[in-house]
Each structure stands twice: as C-alpha cells, then as structure tokens.
Amino acid sequence: MNYKLPPKYQFVTGSSLDRATLVKFMQKTYQELFPEQNFSHLAVTVDKYFSGETPVWWVEEKLENAVRNRVGCLWMGNGIDQVRGDRHAHIFLLYVAPKHRRQGIGKSLMLVGEDWAKNRGDRQISLQVFQSNQPAVNLYCQLGFQTQSLWMVKHI
C-alpha cells in the first residue's frame, strides 16, 4: 500500500486473530463519545459481522526495540443501498487514538478502504457518524462524503 503515513507509523492488514483487539477499539470509540455507558455488547457486533469478507487494517506506531503499538484501525464490510438494492462498502469502524490524531492517519486509512471498495467493484461507500462528532464529520466531508439520510431516534 502506498498511502502516506508519518514516518513512525506503518499499515498492517488484520486477520481473524484480531477479534479481541477490534472489540477494544470499538469500545474506545464509543466510550469517548459516551463515557458513562458500558459497551460490552459490541463484542456481539464483532462476532456477528467480523469475517474474511470484512477486512480490518491497523496503523501501528513503531517504537524502540521493534515494539509496535496499534493506534488506529479501519474495519469495513457490506451495506445494501436501500434505494437501488446494490451491495456497497460500509465502514463499520474508523478509529485513531487521540494522541495520534491530526497527522493524516484517519485519511490514509480511508484511502485504503476506498481502494478496497473500488477493487471489488463497489460504486459507493457508506458510514454512520454521530452528528456530535464534529472532527469525524469534517474528515468525511473533506473526503467527499455527503449526507444521504438522517437516522432519527425517539427515546421512550
């Protein structure tokens, strides 16, 4: 992959052995936005959807003595366009640890995912983002994503 990362970082393609780490990264994402919640249920989401057809890419920070620290990930899978019925790529998770943000890691991961989607013949990529997560909304807009629908919730 020829996606520009800062010099001390590298891409790693995930495997089925990454299930527990993926759950931890999902939990980190949601805990940042909703710190009072328990997100142990996200393990069920990973168990249900993580497979060889839903790749994950990691960004690792190269540390001394060949130690590596995973600081970011992108997990993708399938969505169905509810208007046309076409399968398309869907982003389940994009996460970069706070200390490593604003260095191009998220953008580079998104470009990896876009190439994956193009190579398998997809014509669109979808994702869900919380409206309150303005840095993520800004990144997605910068990369050409547009709002197509709104997910609305009423608590009862």
Region 22-40 average pLDDT: 94
The number of residues making up the chain comes to 156
Does residue 151 surpass a pLDDT of 90?
no
Average pLDDT of every residue of the chain: 92
Q: What pLDDT is recorded for position 103?
A: 92
Does residue 67 surpass a pLDDT of 80?
no
Nearest to 19, CA basis, from 47, 60, 53, 41: 47
Does residue 3 surpass a pLDDT of 80?
no
For position 112, which CATH number holds? 3.40.630.30
Region 47-57 average pLDDT: 94
CA distance 103 to 155: 37
CA distance 36 to 54: 29
Percent of residues, the chain, with pLDDT higher than 70: 97
Domain that holds residue 19: 9-142
CA distance 153 to 155: 6
Q: Is residue 2 part of a domain?
A: no
CA distance 128 to 110: 14
Region 23-50 average pLDDT: 94
Per residue in 11-21, pLDDT (tens digit) is: 999 999 999 99
Instruction: Count up the domains in the chain and report the number.
Output: 1
Q: Is residue 137 part of a domain?
A: yes
CA distance 96 to 101: 6
Residue 75 exposed, middle or buried by CB count within 10 Å (0-12, 13-18, 19+) = buried
Per residue in 99-143, pLDDT (tens digit) is: 999 999 999 999 999 999 999 999 999 999 988 899 999 999 999
Q: Is residue 3 part of a domain?
A: no
Q: What pLDDT is recorded for position 1?
A: 52
Q: Is residue 1 part of a domain?
A: no
